[in-house]
Structure 1
Amino acid sequence: MDGRPLSKILLVINLTAALVFAFLNQASAHVYSQVVTLHEKKASVQKILKSIEKQTGYHFLYDKQDVAQASEINIEAVAQPVETVLDQCFQDQQLTYKIFETTIVVKKKEVVKTVQAVTIQGTVSDAKGPLPGVTIRLKGTDVATVTDVTGKYSLSAPNNTGTLVFSFVGYNTQEVAINNRTTINVVLAETPKALSEVVVVGYGTQRRVDLTGSVGSVSSRQLQERPQTNLEQELAGKIPGVNVSTNSGEPGGDTRIRIRGYSSINTNTDPLYVVDGIVWTSGGNAINPNDIATIDVLKDASSTAIYGTRGANGVILITTKRGSKNRPSTVSYDSYASVSHMAKELPVLNAQQFLAVEDQSYANIQKYDPVGWASGKYASNDPKVLRTALIGKLFDANLNPLYDVDWQKATTRTAYSQNHNLSFTGGSENINYGLFLNYSDDQGIILNSYLKRYNARLTLDNTIKPWLKVGATLNYNAQEQRLGSYGTGGNNIPRMLIEMIPIVPITYPDGTYGKRTDYPNMEGGDNPVAQAREIQQLAQLRLFSGNGYANINILKGLEFRSVIGVTTAANYYPSSQTG
């Protein structure tokens, strides 16, 4: 076979490859190794750019108007990189550039405007003189200051526009536009409503403007912003200096109120409750929050002096709702419902992970006690031996677990709670009355835990004479609580729903409950589902209270008030167990 045609083909291929390689090298050098030579005097920017385009592979994009406004250029450059040449050309120009592969964009430089801060000062006063402690804030920003003891202030604003907001407790908030001014004096007006607000204190009532002691107040509207079946929990975050803590999430869980901090670790530091002038010993959980008109908390010694040592930890004064004067008979009803569930489960081992940990623990014995391991000391504790003995009960023939129980899910539920309030009120010129009924069913997330409450309250007020007014209140409260956190150690449900092993079932096919001791070498501990279902630990409260009062107006501004009351309560703790 003649090899000449083949050799010609190979020669053509080699020549083609050489030409392509040379072309690529030329293109690469054309793009990335650009140098420019310029000898120009008083040349326009447009001329310079066209000259660079001829000498390189770059193309320029620019606004002709921007380039035309630039000054003429003098430049001497021999074999200089494009970037160096452009930097020299635009050094004294209001132009800049940016390279995008083979395209160069020329544009105007961004002008950064520097705004000088403006200092605004002035004096804030009221009808009586300068006001110290007034807050001045630039509206819509975090820029703020307060007035000094002479009522003067100084504030640095970013510009001479905007609005200043002047605010102070007991005064109307005022907004003032700056309007290029550097001195702004303001006179604040008192808020009549805030100053004339009536506050209940130990000896009666006072206007807040005349009050010298430390008193915090909460209205019924504020309490209902976050409805709770427990009055103490509703106070959380409502009054400065009043700390509310709950150490249990179950319905009716124990709540602690501390006023002005913790004063002792040995003695009782609970505050004193006074309801409608009568000392209340059953705590806030026995009061229907919907029956409350106002709560006043006396926090310092001057406010609590009338109660002696009983008020040493603070006093919570509760004024309940009553009928309205000169109003027709009215029926009111309100209710709310809520849904609760476990927000987050604690991470625990499932059945396979539990068995893997046991296997690893057994294997580690050989490392830490090789002599005992070699002598067969631990042979009876071999997990395979233990599991083989439980085939059919806890394991299948391949020693795989028959059960994998999530005890947190098994012992808890989605709880639905409800609260209903029904009231009948009315009154004439001299007599007013009110009947208030409440039913509350607060279900807990632990199976079968709950708190149910029934409450009835009757009020009557009668103005017999212009100088004599009498009234009475009757209250009955019945509540029943099924606990979900009783017991200790292995008999405590919240503890056992974490510690119960996953390979033991809730119930076996024959209906009997699984126990932790069903698997060898496990410590004792009860089945939390069995506890929740079969053990009924109740706390029942029956409370009756009644009080009457008489108000005698002796002189204008001088009133005699006498209150008599009785409270009786009975607590029962029945328990039963089945299964």
Structure 2
Amino acid sequence: MFKIVKAILFVQALFLLFPLSAQQRGIVRGKVTSDFEPQGVIGVTVAELDQNNRLINGTVTNLDGDYIIEVRDNTNRLQFTSVGYQNQTVEIAGRTRINVNLADAITELEGAEIVGYRRTNTGALNVADRDLAIPVSKISTEEFEGVQASSIDEALQGRMSGVDITANSGDPGAGMSIRIRGVNTLSVDASPLIVVDNIPYEVNVSSDFNFATANEEGYSQMLNIPVDDISEISVLKDAAATAMWGTRAANGVLLITTKRGSKGRKPMVQYTFRGTYTPTPPTIPLLNGDQYNTLMQEAYYNSNNTPMPFDTYREFLQSPDDPYYFYNYGANTKWMDHLTQNGYIQNHDFSITGGGTKAFYRFSVNYQGQEGTTVGTSLDRLSTRLNLDYDISDKLRLRADFAFTHSDTYGNYSDETIKNSRSVRSVGYRKMPIMSLYEYDAEGNLTPNYFSPESNSQGTAPDTYNPVALANEASPGH
């Protein structure tokens, strides 16, 4: 009997507790304002905290600064927080509406310090500059952006200390000689190793490459990389680079990094055109035909104390009775005017760059057409490059680079000597101005053949060849 009475009393106690617990819950509404926004502050966090500052429930104010929250216990507190305002905590105390005016939070910073460390790609690792143990020079394409240059080496001229870049000739497509910290050997090649996107770049020249100075023209292959595709160029100047690249890096390393796509970037299409016009360069003042004929006869007389024997030097006789020599050696030819022309360069760059969360890409096409200031010299180059990247994980990335280049280079004859005395310009300066450009026959009739005698007072073939003939025949279409 006692147990039954005890159970009944327990059930009655539960019924008495339920109404009490229900009375502790409630709905609280209100509005949050401030002196700066009296109409209402949007996005204020309203949180219910118990006596131990534990978060029980929460909400945020709407566009008008109004809020509504269901509280678990009307004896708890409400905390109002927002960026730019001071936090405020109020007691609920059984209220169903609580309006709050927040005060602005004014914080004065004594200072902010941002520290960044620049890193350098050594071809094997990205090393912080402060940890580098070898001297490195770097240059980004921003430093020569807008500069009209047909190749990387041409764009680098005079922009990096300790790196000497000199042109082998002024003809289109001609290579350049690159020396890092000067020439340090007299017996072997002193050219640096070229690395493109961490891959050694071959610059060997085939044995049948015979125009201009073939031993230096290997670097003309750098023309295959358009300047617009370059992101950064680094030069390792110390012999310590051999630790990473072997003995081929004893003369230094030229590291070239090409542009790539980036993560989360919408496809961006870019087109750039650059054009350059080069007027005909001035030449050294030369004698005309009449002046040359007179001075040559005077020079012979001063040297031999006798008049020039025209039987031996018939080209200086200038007699109409001998039509062949009279017309072929009676001209006033300005050879350099026939060997020079106005030059131009046109450069078209087209690229598409983009990327997603894991894969990104860059595709580019470049066309360059160049006409040299010497007749018969020109360059036509079409190159394309595709760089692909795919992040498998934070520690593993796949890269694929594809490049294709087709170029046609037209150059003049070279005897491959240091003086290159038989080049068309060298011969043009030495050629007798009394000689005709085209040959006349024995009766004095003009023929379509270039006048290139087997021998005359200047020597024998090949020193007597017609430079205009060689320059014109080297032009595209011949």
Query: Normalising to structure 2: TM-score of the pair?
Result: 0.65
Any idea what SS the aligned residue of 2:333 has? Answer: coil
Q: Tell me the equivalent position of 2:438.
A: 507
The one-letter amino acid of 1:495's match is S
Give the Cα separation in 1 of the matches to 2:387 and 2:412.
36
After TM superposition, the structure 1 = structure 2 runs for residues 341-360 of structure 1, keeping only pairs within 5 Å, are 341-360=279-298
Which sections of structure 2, spanning at least 5 residues, go unmatched? 1-110, 204-218, 440-445
The CA distance in 2 between the partners of 1:496 and 1:366, in whole Å, is 27
CA RMSD of aligned residues (A): 3.0
Structure with the largest fraction of strand: 1
Structure with greater contact order relative to length (CA < 8 Å, sep ≥ 6):
2
Percentage identity across paired residues of the two chains: 28
Which position in structure 1 is the counterpart of 2:125? 204
CA spacing shift, 1:191–1:381, aligned 2, 3 Å:
farther
Query: Quick one: structure 1 residues 521 and 269, their matched pair in 2 at CA, closer, same or farther if it must change by over 3 Å?
Result: closer
Instruction: Select the residue among 455, 472, 477 that pairs with 1:533.
Output: 472
What letter matches 1:340 in structure 2? T
User: Aligned partners of 1:192 and 1:225: how far apart in 2?
Assistant: 32
Which of the residues 165, 168, 185 maps onto 1:244? 165
Per the alignment, residue 320 of structure 1 pairs with 258
The answer to whether residue 152 in structure 2 is matched with residue 231 in structure 1 is yes
Q: After TM superposition, give the deviation of residue 276 of structure 1 in Å.
A: 0.9
Which residue in 2 is equivalent to 1:417?
Answer: 345
**Matched residues in 2 for 1:431 and 1:408: separation?**
56
Contact 1:516 1:522 in 2 (8 A): no
Matched letter for residue 345 of structure 2: S
Which of 331, 340, 344 is the equivalent residue of 2:269?
A: 331
In structure 1, the gaps of 5 or more residues are 1-188, 539-575
How far 1:465 moved relative to its partner?
2.7
Q: CA deviation at 1:523?
A: 4.1
Q: Deviations over 1:361-414 (max 9, x none)?
A: 3433662x6xxx7xxx94634769832266545547xxx975211111111100
Counterpart-to-counterpart distance in 2, 1:347 and 1:430: 65
Match in the other structure for 1:280: 201
- The answer to whether the 8 A contact 2:137-2:160 is kept is yes
TM-score (normalised: structure 1): 0.54
Asked if structure 1 preserves the Cα contact closer than 8 Å seen for 2:318 and 2:329, the reply is no
Q: Deviations over 1:443-488 (max 9, x none)?
A: 1111121111111111111112333321211111111111124347
Inter-CA distance 225–216: structure 2 relative to 1 (3 Å threshold): farther
| Preserved CA contact (<8 Å) 2:180 2:237 | yes
Report the CA distance shift for 1:190/1:279 in structure 2 as closer, same or farther (over 3 A). farther
Q: CA deviation at 1:527?
A: 1.0
User: 1: CA distance between counterparts of 2:466 and 2:428?
Assistant: 8
| In 1: Cα distance, 2:112 partner to 2:202 partner | 40
Q: Are 1:255 and 2:176 an aligned pair?
A: yes
Shift of 1:442: 1.7
1:126-172 C-alpha deviation (Å, 9 max, x unpaired): xxxxxxxxxxxxxxxxxxxxxxxxxxxxxxxxxxxxxxxxxxxxxxx
The CA distance in 2 between the partners of 1:236 and 1:485, in whole Å, is 26
- Cα 1:506–1:203 shift into 2, 3 Å: same
Distance in 1, Cα, partners of 2:144 & 2:190: 24
State the number of aligned residues: 340
Query: Using the alignment, how far apart are the partners of 2:246 and 2:459 within structure 1?
Result: 56
Instruction: Return closer, same or farther for 1:401/1:507 CA change in 2, 3 Å cut-off.
Output: closer
Q: Which residue of 1 aligns with 2:186?
A: 265
* Residue aligned with 1:446, SS: coil
Deviation at 1:491, TM superposition (A): 5.0
Mapped to 1, the partners of 2:128 and 2:454 lie a distance apart of 67
Partner of 1:170: none
CA contact (8 A) 1:501 1:516 kept: no
Tell me the distance in 1 between the aligned counterparts of 2:354 and 2:321. 73
Which residue of 2 is the match for residue 444 of structure 1?
A: 372
Q: 1:518 to 1:388 in 2, by over 3 A?
A: farther
Higher mean C-alpha displacement, 299-308 vs 324-333:
299-308
Return the letter of the residue paired with 1:204.
L
Map 1:298-309; keep pairs closer than 5 Å.
298-309=236-247
Partner secondary structure for residue 262 of structure 1 = coil
